[in-house]
């Protein structure tokens, strides 16, 4: 079937289309209704059907491919590689589920997972799914404050954490961050289950609260834990994403719709069949990690490679070595990762036998054309940009080589994926923008299976954040876009105050609030500025209190450290400028877009509402003299 026919069927007859795709997974009870859209924009897919993500990812494959590799967890940080067949993965997940059950984790309970890219992270996620518990994986690079916010929102029964992670050969202790987060938390869980990797010999334990997984594991080595059959629309997991306020949003995913979306997308988008190998370089803490390190490949009966380490360590050929070693068919990475490799000798791209590699998918931030050309020429395989969000859970705009490979257009992620009824809307008129004209990328509800079902515990925030931007009921991506006359879409950047740093979404409001905790800071504005390597980086402009009595450079350095301490190294401002005034409108609104334009040496736009023209000149002078801290 060609792309046009497949896509048109998904839009014109969505219930028939998704009923067909639902046959790609196993149901304990078949759905009695494909779609319930009686309460727009909320929708329920595969109503009445009961299934389980863990069963679809492991159990159903045991008879046909029990001895096939399911998971390969590679760490170039520790030098450890673990290869697990489906049968071995089944055993480990049963043991982990038994440990969780012994700690009174039950169906519907939340479990926060604070682990790096190690096999135990996969065991923990699948064990939660097996029990019907709701996992919330928090990226191991997040600081204590971020972790505490997520704990308070999810109110978990249990926190699972490693003693430490590693990056570039440096040990990053996790346990002190966990301890600090639980001290800040208003809803700390009764227990912390520790996966001790032996990386932090100084790690301390709180008696009665902190438990060692290795010790508990011994009591459950032969456990058989039955699968909890969940109604399709019960929550499967929460994944927190930055918003325009300081409070992160808990993106809630369902069970059945997500399983079907994973099965369909792995087959038709990523072109992976049972027994083939997929290598996603993402961290399990991100949406890509959930969908294409863990659930997607395993639901498809494929082999998934999970990698802990840098793309340049021990050398810039490590990814390609792994592709050769495990005969990777489809690789999924980020433009930032490729830009890192672009600085290395291109001979590394040709050192290994990549004859098995058919596709390289890149997502997380816009893919610039020079990088796309460089990696396409270097590997000699199609490089497929694709666009999606934490909220969508799988690509919304892409090409589909598993169905039909349409023409690759550098700079565009491609065409709408099945089920996504996409428009580009003129922000001023609310009408659909003409081809070649900039607008806001939106999706007409009902959203397809796999997309978020709501914001955890806050339906009103779901409505206001995603469906409250236009008179018509539309899901706003909050991204600017342009569509050409052939339907190819190009993403131009955010319409709100969220920036994209190497594929990681950061709320500028969160960074501003962190900077403002310094006693010398009067006011701060944080913007995202284009960066050749990371796509965007945060830049701070701040004014100081009149009685601060300290040097600008010292305060600027302290601001950076506050951000690192509270939000983690990912959010560290690239540059800090201490200025005497910030540009505002007469109503007091900060002109962040004008700041961004000046920082990127662009026209700052209409300044007719500017309250103090001298403030803009102050910013220009600051940019000319250079930052107070880099």
pLDDT tens-place string over residues 129-152:
999 999 999 988 788 988 999 999
Query: Which helix or strand (DSSP H or E) is residue 112 part of?
Result: strand 110-114
Residue 277: pLDDT band (50, 70, 90) is very high
Residue 496: pLDDT band (50, 70, 90) is low
Q: CA-CA distances (angstroms) from residue 420 to 444, 455, 565?
A: 8, 20, 39
Partner residues linked to 165 by β-bridges: 172
Integer Cα distance of 28 and 449 in angstroms: 19
Integer Cα distance of 121 and 140 in angstroms: 11
Residue 549: pLDDT band (50, 70, 90) is low
Closest by CA to 369, choosing from 413, 406, 403, is: 413
- Residue-wise pLDDT tens digits, 500-517: 787 777 777 778 878 888
Cβ atoms of 290 and 136 closer than 8 Å? no
Residue range 72-92: mean pLDDT, rounded = 98
Question: Following DSSP, what letter does each residue of 507-538 receive, concatenated?
Answer: EHHHHHHHHTTSTTEEEEEEEEEEETTTEEEE
SS3 401: coil
Strands 397-398 and 359-362: unpaired
Which residue is it, tokens 């026209």?
603
Domains, in order of start, for the chain: 3-28+45-309+386-444 (3.40.50.12780), 498-625 (3.30.300.30)
Q: CA-CA distances (angstroms) from residue 612 to 147, 569, 580, 590, 591?
A: 40, 35, 12, 12, 11
Which residue is it, tokens 């690239």?
574
Q: How far apart are the first and last CA of the chain?
A: 53
φ and ψ at residue 194, rounded to 5 degrees = -105, 125
- Residue-wise pLDDT tens digits, 429-479: 889 999 999 899 999 999 999 999 999 999 999 999 999 999 999 999 998
- Residue-wise pLDDT tens digits, 89-107: 999 999 999 999 999 999 9
Integer Cα distance of 505 and 241 in angstroms: 7
Integer Cα distance of 378 and 361 in angstroms: 15
- For 212, residues 6+ apart whose C-beta sits below 8 A from its C-beta are 194, 196
Is 589's pLDDT higher than 70? no
Mean pLDDT of the chain: 92
Question: Following DSSP, what letter does each residue of 585-615 receive, concatenated?
Answer: BTTS-B-HHHHHHHHTT------TTBS-HHH
């Amino acid at each position: 079937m060609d792309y046009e026919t497949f896509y048109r069927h998904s839009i014109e007859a969505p219930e028939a289309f998704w009923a067909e795709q639902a046959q790609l997974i196993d149901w304990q009870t078949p759905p009695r209704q494909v779609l319930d859209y009686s309460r727009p924009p909320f929708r329920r897919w595969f109503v009445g059907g009961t299934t389980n993500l863990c069963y679809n990812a492991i159990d159903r494959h045991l008879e046909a491919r029990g001895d096939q590799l399911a998971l390969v967890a590679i760490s170039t940080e520790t030098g450890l590689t673990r290869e697990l067949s489906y049968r071995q993965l089944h055993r480990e997940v049963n043991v982990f589920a038994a440990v969780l059950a012994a700690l009174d984790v039950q169906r519907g309970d939340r479990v926060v997972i604070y682990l790096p890219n190690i096999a135990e992270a996969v065991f923990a996620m699948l064990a939660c799914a097996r029990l019907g518990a709701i996992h919330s994986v928090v990226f191991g690079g997040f600081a204590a404050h971020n972790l505490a916010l997520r704990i308070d929102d999810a109110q978990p029964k249990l926190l699972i954490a490693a003693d430490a992670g590693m990056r570039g050969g440096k040990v990053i202790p996790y346990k002190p961050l966990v301890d600090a987060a639980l001290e800040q938390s208003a809803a700390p869980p009764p227990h912390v289950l520790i996966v001790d990797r032996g990386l932090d010999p100084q790690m301390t334990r709180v008696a009665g609260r902190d438990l060692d997984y290795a010790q508990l594991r011994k009591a459950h080595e032969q456990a058989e834990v039955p699968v909890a059959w969940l109604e399709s629309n019960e929550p499967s997991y929460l994944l927190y994403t930055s918003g325009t306020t300081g409070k992160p949003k808990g993106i809630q995913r369902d069970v059945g719709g997500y399983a079907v979306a994973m099965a369909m997308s792995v087959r038709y988008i990523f072109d992976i069949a049972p027994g083939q190998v997929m290598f996603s370089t993402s961290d399990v803490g991100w949406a890509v990690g959930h969908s294409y390190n863990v659930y997607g490949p395993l639901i498809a009966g494929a082999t998934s490679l999970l990698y802990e380490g840098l793309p340049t360590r021990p050398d810039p050929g490590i990814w390609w070595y792994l592709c050769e070693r495990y005969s990777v068919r489809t690789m999924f990475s980020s433009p930032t990762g490729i830009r890192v490799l672009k600085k290395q000798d291109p001979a590394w791209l040709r050192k290994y036998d990549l004859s098995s590699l058919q596709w390289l998918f890149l997502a997380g931030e816009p893919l610039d054309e020079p990088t796309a050309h460089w990696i396409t020429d270097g590997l000699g395989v199609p490089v497929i940009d694709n666009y999606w969000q934490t909220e969508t859970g799988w690509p919304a705009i892409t090409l589909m080589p598993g169905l039909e490979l349409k023409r690759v257009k550098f700079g565009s992620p491609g065409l709408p994926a099945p089920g996504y009824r996409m428009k580009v809307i003129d922000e001023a008129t609310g009408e659909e923008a003409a081809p070649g004209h900039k607008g806001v990328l939106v999706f007409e509800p009902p959203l397809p299976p796999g997309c978020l079902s709501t914001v955890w515990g806050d339906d009103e925030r779901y409505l206001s954040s995603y469906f409250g931007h236009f008179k018509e009921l539309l899901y706003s991506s909050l991204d600017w876009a342009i569509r050409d006359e052939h339907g190819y879409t190009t993403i131009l950047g955010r319409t709100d105050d969220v920036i994209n740093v190497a594929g990681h979404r950061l709320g500028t409001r969160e960074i501003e609030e962190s900077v403002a905790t310094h006693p010398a800071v009067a006011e701060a504005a944080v913007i995202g500025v284009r960066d050749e390597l990371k796509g965007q980086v945060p830049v701070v402009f701040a004014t100081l209190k009149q009685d601060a009595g300290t040097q600008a450079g010292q305060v600027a350095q302290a601001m950076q450290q506050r951000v690192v301490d509270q939000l983690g190294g990912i959010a560290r401002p690239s540059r800090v400028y201490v200025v005497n005034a910030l540009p505002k409108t007469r109503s007091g609104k900060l002109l962040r877009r004008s700041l961004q334009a000046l920082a990127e040496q662009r026209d700052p736009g209409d300044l007719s509402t500017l309250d103090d023209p001298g403030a803009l000149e102050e910013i220009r002078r600051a940019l000319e003299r250079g930052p107070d801290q880099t």
